[in-house]
Structure 1
């Protein structure tokens, strides 16, 4: 089953320019029907704390995801900023089906408070999952990656694919790669990750969007350039591996909290 990770230099606080860039990249990539396409965190504006500039207007960011999902007949997971209470926003990972239906909405559980993200975009409280052609998928966002307990909440829910969208800076890029590999290994999941590249007024980004298997082996790596990665993931092999080494069954649920219901 084919997955795609889109990596590009997000134009700062310029939604039309970023929509156009994604459209152009997907038109060139021509993703397979019913494949899954992952876009970066806050793809429409960059990782800005300016909520007024970042928030979607009348659902335009969701509408963009819906439209490209229908046009390319694919599942699309993209990072939107939804309006929240008291003038704040919500940093979300939203999934749409090829029919254009919204099938999942996850609000980032771990805001990056080093940059004051929680003041602009308060934390969500629940992980979510969705079905992609018989595969259970769990979406996460950027800083979530540093908190393995967040991923453990979904580990007993037969999740087979984790998506991580991000705005992860170059200074800590080694952590990004190693943590993605760790989350894949410890949860026996394939993982697809989309990070931005380029610069914004505050940070530099060198990408390293990647796709890794359940062994943590990197199957594709975008490096520091604009790129659409693609890999055909083998879920039957993953299921055979889990059956032979059923580590997840030995998790102490009383130590990691309640399971996702």
Structure 2
């Protein structure tokens, strides 16, 4: 399958504009049925903690993701803010499939929803949002031939344990929607490559471009194969990176060099 990674330049807290921009980019990528489309962290608002604005309480952003998945027959992974039953908001990555892609589901099933486990303390994210506490995996395509994906978000990338938990759950690829700040951009690329090498898995890091009232972002969206080799990379500005991901390549490499078996508890 092809993974289409959308490096958006989001407009601050403007959901309608950002959704339209995302749709335009997906259309430009012309995904085939069965492909994967990934949007950045909090793609519909930018990295804002104003939950009165950012929370997808109306479900409009979720509905938008479902419409993309249905229109193209793809899995869409995107970051948004979700208010839980406890009334607290979480920074989540949601994976949505097209209608009838999962047993018993008729339209736009949520294949997985992951809440960011490590909230960014320097940006005071932890003061405004609640952290998640578990790894999440899903299979795409949903049949037994599909690849097992796990989700992480931005600051989670600094914590190998998040990815080990995904590996223990069977992950063959990791998707990392992000709003990675320019001030520590030098860390972004090597961390993505390290997570791929450590877990012998694909890693798809999707950063945003542009700036918001608080920060600047340098893009650098990256696809890494299970051997740690870079499949493709974007520069600073808005753009689309499309790379091939193949579960048989993960299984082949893990068979040739089975370092994953030596992971404690593995």
TM superposition score normalised by structure 2: 0.92
Superimposed CA distance per residue, residues 200-228 of structure 1 (whole angstroms, 9 cap, x where no aligned partner): 00110010011110122111111111111
Alignment partner, residue 119 of structure 1: 127
What secondary structure does 2:167 align onto? Answer: coil
Superimposed CA distance per residue, residues 62-111 of structure 1 (whole angstroms, 9 cap, x where no aligned partner): 11111111111100001011113675411100001122111101000001
Alignment partner, residue 10 of structure 2: 10
How is 1:26-65 mapped onto 2 (pairs within 5 angstroms)?
26-65=26-65
Q: Distance in 2 between matches of 1:86 and 1:156?
A: 29
Matched, 1:146 2:158: yes
Displacement after TM superposition at 1:55 (Å): 0.6
Alignment partner, residue 131 of structure 1: 139
Alignment partner, residue 177 of structure 1: 189
Question: Do the aligned residues in 1 keep the contact of 2:4 with 2:29 (CA within 8 Å)?
Answer: no
Alignment partner, residue 25 of structure 2: 25
Alignment partner, residue 98 of structure 2: 98
Alignment partner, residue 232 of structure 1: 244
Aligned residue pair count: 254
Gap runs ≥5 in structure 1: 254-258
Residues 85 and 116 of structure 1: CA distance in aligned 2, closer, same or farther (over 3 Å): farther
Give the 4+ runs in structure 1 shifted more than 6 A: none
Matched, 1:109 2:117: yes
Indicate the RMSD between aligned Cα atoms, in angstroms.
Answer: 1.3
